Amino acid sequence: MMNTRFIMSVIALLLLAEGLAFALIPHPSVDQDMGTYDTLSSNLSEAACRECHSSGVPDTHHDLKATGKYQCANCHPVITNPDGSQTTTIVGDCMQCHNATFNNMTIRKPHHESQNAQDGHCSSCHGNIVDDYDDGHYIPVYNVSLVTPDPKYREINSATGEKLGGCESCHEQNNTLSPQVYSNINTHHNLGSVSGFNPSNISKCAKCHDLYSGQFGSGSIRYCERCHAIRSLHNIQYNFTGTNGQFGYGHIGAGDCNGCHASYMTAGAVPGMAPGTDVIVPVIYNIITGKVTEGMETILIIRGSNLVTTVDGVTHSSVVVLTDGLNPITLAPEAINSTEIVVRVPGLRKGDYGVYALKNGSVKSNRLPLVVVPVRKLI
């Protein structure tokens, strides 16, 4: 009898210690570079822009002259010097134009002014890291409850500032990084006309906010789930195979309950695997290549993460897809590992293309631009 009581006491102490250990481990901030850095475009540098726009930038701008909308002097104004001589301005920093008014021209920030962005088709650029506004993905219809994550947080440790029970458990503003990571409110409200600002259009606000006293409040997570639903939210765990089972890492690893659900879910519970977690979403960071010229074969080197993953002994590998918006071209890599793809691209027509990694035929990465420039004929 005594031995039984002793054993039960030891077990109780171990369970208590495990609970305390779980409570004391701070929930780490997620990788803030999953497809796109979580900051404002105004804070980006020329180098950061070039990570995505790595090819054909001068040629693309020069081709605008052929449309008749721009002339050389629009981008390269002639300046008269004090001595009467004249020089032509050469601007190499895209932030001088795309983040300001240059030469009396208001240059828009193009990222969220495309038709896909206006229609809420976020995955066309961001891949399956997010969902599309109207793709029919599952969103719970039952009322939010104590176990439902909050768009901000449910609990906060007044001593440490740690937030639990919502998005800010991982996605929080960070002023110590460079460039600075902004809050969800700041990033979402700075999406150009998509967010209903510049120009003002209150109807755009309804995509994220319930303006008409519907079932849920204006800050309900059900509205976040129009773009950040279960399918995508639980599928972006960084380095899944390396952190699965460890406390405090990722979105679906054991012990992550409190990050989303705070104290309203049993600390030791292990959430079920979300759909598609065996084919973790690939992310591409940049394309290492020189100029891609029309009609000429080119070798592309694409760098990213989760390009190849092995889960439960099954390897999932990516292919590369190029698209001009209408006609996708699927290319098998000549070499691939988890962080790099080498692929041979056949001769293409001139124009703008999107490049993304596709895994298992259905899970796609974010998309980066690729410009195929025309052959310049000597006069």
How much is the pLDDT for 332?
97
Cβ-contact 151, 166 below 8 angstroms: yes
How much is the pLDDT for 24?
42
User: Both 233 and 365 in a single domain?
Assistant: no
Averaged confidence pLDDT in the chain: 77
In a 13 Å sphere around the CA of 256, the CA atoms on its Cβ side amount to 25
Residue 369: other Cβ atoms inside 10 A: 17
User: Both 269 and 284 in a single domain?
Assistant: no
CA–CA gap between residue 282 and residue 364 (Å, rounded): 7
Cβ-contact 174, 32 below 8 angstroms: yes
Tokens standing for 171? 């996605």
Cβ-contact 269, 257 below 8 angstroms: yes
Among 275, 291, 321, the domain boundary falls at: 275
User: Both 214 and 149 in a single domain?
Assistant: yes
User: Both 201 and 315 in a single domain?
Assistant: no
Would you put residue 150 in left (φ > 0), alpha (ψ -120 to 50) or beta?
beta
**Predicted model pTM:** 0.75
User: Both 322 and 210 in a single domain?
Assistant: no
User: Both 254 and 294 in a single domain?
Assistant: no
Instruction: For residues 200-221, give the mean pLDDT.
Output: 76
How much is the pLDDT for 279?
67
Q: Which residues pair with 371 in a beta bridge?
A: 352
Residue 39 has pLDDT above 70, yes or no: yes
User: Both 168 and 211 in a single domain?
Assistant: yes
Note whether residue 294 is domain-resident.
yes
CA–CA gap between residue 348 and residue 374 (Å, rounded): 10
Tokens 């404002």, residue located: 40
Among 241, 275, 309, the domain boundary falls at: 275
Note whether residue 75 is domain-resident.
no
User: Both 355 and 286 in a single domain?
Assistant: yes
User: Both 259 and 356 in a single domain?
Assistant: no
pLDDT digits (tens, 9 = 90+) for 359-373: 988 889 999 999 998
Note whether residue 11 is domain-resident.
no
How much is the CA Rg of the chain, to the nearest whole Å? 25
User: Both 172 and 268 in a single domain?
Assistant: yes
User: Both 310 and 261 in a single domain?
Assistant: no
pLDDT digits (tens, 9 = 90+) for 117-153: 888 898 888 888 888 988 888 888 888 888 888 888 8
How much is the pLDDT for 296?
92
Domain count for the chain: 2
Note whether residue 70 is domain-resident.
no
End-to-end CA distance of the chain: 101
User: Both 364 and 247 in a single domain?
Assistant: no
Residue 262: other Cβ atoms inside 10 A: 21
Q: Which domain holds residue 331?
A: 279-373
E strand intervals along 187-338: 283-288, 292-293, 298-305, 308-311, 314-323, 328-331, 335-336
Instruction: For residues 177-187, give the mean pLDDT.
Output: 83
Q: What is the CATH number of the domain that holds 284?
A: 2.60.40.10
Note whether residue 77 is domain-resident.
no
User: What's 144's DSSP letter?
Assistant: P
Note whether residue 232 is domain-resident.
yes
CA–CA gap between residue 344 and residue 342 (Å, rounded): 7
Residues sharing a CB contact under 8 Å with residue 145, sequence separation 6 or more, in sequence order: none
Q: How confident is the model at residue 3 (pLDDT cuts 50, 70, 90)?
A: low
Cβ-contact 191, 227 below 8 angstroms: no
Q: Which residues pair with 292 in a beta bridge?
A: 372
CA–CA gap between residue 182 and residue 194 (Å, rounded): 18
DSSP line for 30-73 = PPS-SSS-SS-GGG--HHHHHHH--S-HHHHHHHGGGGTS--HH
How much is the pLDDT for 215?
67
Q: Does 118 or 32 have the greater pLDDT score?
A: 118
CA–CA gap between residue 134 and residue 95 (Å, rounded): 33
Among 222, 257, 275, the domain boundary falls at: 275
pLDDT digits (tens, 9 = 90+) for 185-203: 888 888 888 888 878 888 8
Cβ-contact 236, 243 below 8 angstroms: no
How much is the pLDDT for 179?
82
Instruction: For residues 312-331, give the mean pLDDT.
Output: 90
